[in-house]
Amino acid sequence: SAKIIDGKAIAENLRNTIAAEVADIAARTGAQPGLAVVLVGNDPASEVYVGSKARQTVAVGMRSFEHRLPADVPEAELLALVARLNADDAVDGILVQLPLPAHINTDRVIEAIDPAKDVDGFHPVNAGRLLIGLPTLVACTPLGSLLLLQSVHQDFSGLSAVVVGRSNIVGKPVAQLLLQHNATVTIAHSRTRDLPAVVRAADIVVAAVGRPELVRGEWIKSGATVIDVGINRLPQEPGAAKGRLVGDVAFDEAVKVAGAITPVPGGVGPMTIACLLRNTLQAFRARRFGE
Ligand code: NAD
């Protein structure tokens, strides 16, 4: 049965490395990275994410700035806040928690963020730099997925990879990263014909679909590495406090066939915030020391 890729432990290692570097820079220069997180409205899932981002930011020795705006805030006011954060020298990273309320144009807000502070990596300039292969801030979940794959494979040369899902925040950037690291990449999506056959051809499978257990064990090539980005909550069962969390891969089936696989929870999830902190440190170094 497959090796379980321990995202929790790998994320903890990454946070420890970041904390040590932050402490070292502080001792040498007195400077401290700062991350600003903007939350519009009070979506419960977003509240949880923003809370853990702030906690982990402080835990690695960075400054955390939280900005909460009401759900009906005019777009102009949010854009004005982004402009202030762009100009604030204590702020190295800016993250506007998505989704935004429907009356706000999300693209306009993302494009208003200084690309040098865009630690989510969603700004078109950073997405474009990734495409071209220039150094850039890479979106956190794709970057986390890459780091997990690199814990299994030194190099992807000669390996075929299938990314299921083509969203701008996961599927597309994951595919770009795999390509950059020499995998032979296929992107599958809702209009793909015979998805099982496409997945069966792959040495590396990254599932970012948002459909509970869509990818079955019998689709997986023996020995393949499986990264499950999906986070889906199943309907609540009688007597349970909450529905169970499952990925986009049928784990119990796939674990018998795969060579290595990420669990849900405890796989990609913990890597996302760790990579956000990594990006904040990278943005801080580039802005303040030109590194
Ligand atoms: P999305 O809805 O934006 O994109 C889903 C993609 O899957 C689309 O490109 C669509 O074409 C494809 N798709 C849909 N149905 C399909 C099918 N039946 N067969 C093949 N492809 C199909 O979703 P997203 O934002 O990319 O997120 C995907 C999943 O990853 C979600 O479960 C989300 O919760 C999770 N996620 C996790 C993290 C994290 O771990 N921190 C971060 C972001 C997203």
Question: ipTM score of the complex?
Answer: 0.98
Q: Are 162 and 178 in contact (CB under 8 A)?
A: no
pLDDT at residue 22 in the model = 98
pLDDT at residue 6 in the model = 98
Residue whose Cα lies nearest atom 13 of ligand 1: it is: 190
Same-domain pairing of 70 and 166: no
Q: How confident is the model at residue 163 (pLDDT cuts 50, 70, 90)?
A: very high
Same-domain pairing of 145 and 260: yes
pLDDT at residue 35 in the model = 98
Domain that holds residue 36: 30-115
48 belongs to a structural domain: yes
Residue range 236-246: average pLDDT? Answer: 92
CB atoms inside a 10 Å sphere around CB 182 = 13
* DSSP per position, 89-133: TT--EEEEPSPPPTTS-HHHHHHHS-GGGBTT--SHHHHHHHHHT
pLDDT at residue 94 in the model = 98
pLDDT at residue 198 in the model = 98
Q: Which CATH number goes with the domain that contains 105?
A: 3.40.50.10860
Closest CA to 140 of 21, 25, 49: 49
Task: Give the tokens for residue 34.
Answer: 């700062």
Same-domain pairing of 108 and 222: no
253 belongs to a structural domain: yes
Residue range 255-276: average pLDDT? Answer: 98
274 belongs to a structural domain: no
Q: Are 172 and 130 in contact (CB under 8 A)?
A: no
With the most atoms of ligand 1 within 8 angstroms of its CB, the residue from 167, 234, 275 to mutate is 167
Q: What is the mean pLDDT of the chain?
A: 97
Tell me which of 92, 118, 120, 248 is the catalytic residue: 120
Same-domain pairing of 107 and 145: no
125 belongs to a structural domain: no
285 belongs to a structural domain: no
Report CA Rg, the chain.
19
pLDDT at residue 169 in the model = 96
State pLDDT tens for residues 189-202: 999 999 999 999 99
Q: d(Cα 18, Cα 24) in Å, to the nearest integer?
A: 10
User: What pTM was estimated for this model as a whole?
Assistant: 0.97
Q: Is 150 a catalytic residue?
A: no
Q: How confident is the model at residue 174 (pLDDT cuts 50, 70, 90)?
A: very high
Q: d(Cα 240, Cα 257) in Å, to the nearest integer?
A: 30
Binding annotation for NADP(+): 165-167, 231
82 belongs to a structural domain: yes
Q: How many domains does the chain have?
A: 2
Same-domain pairing of 84 and 187: no
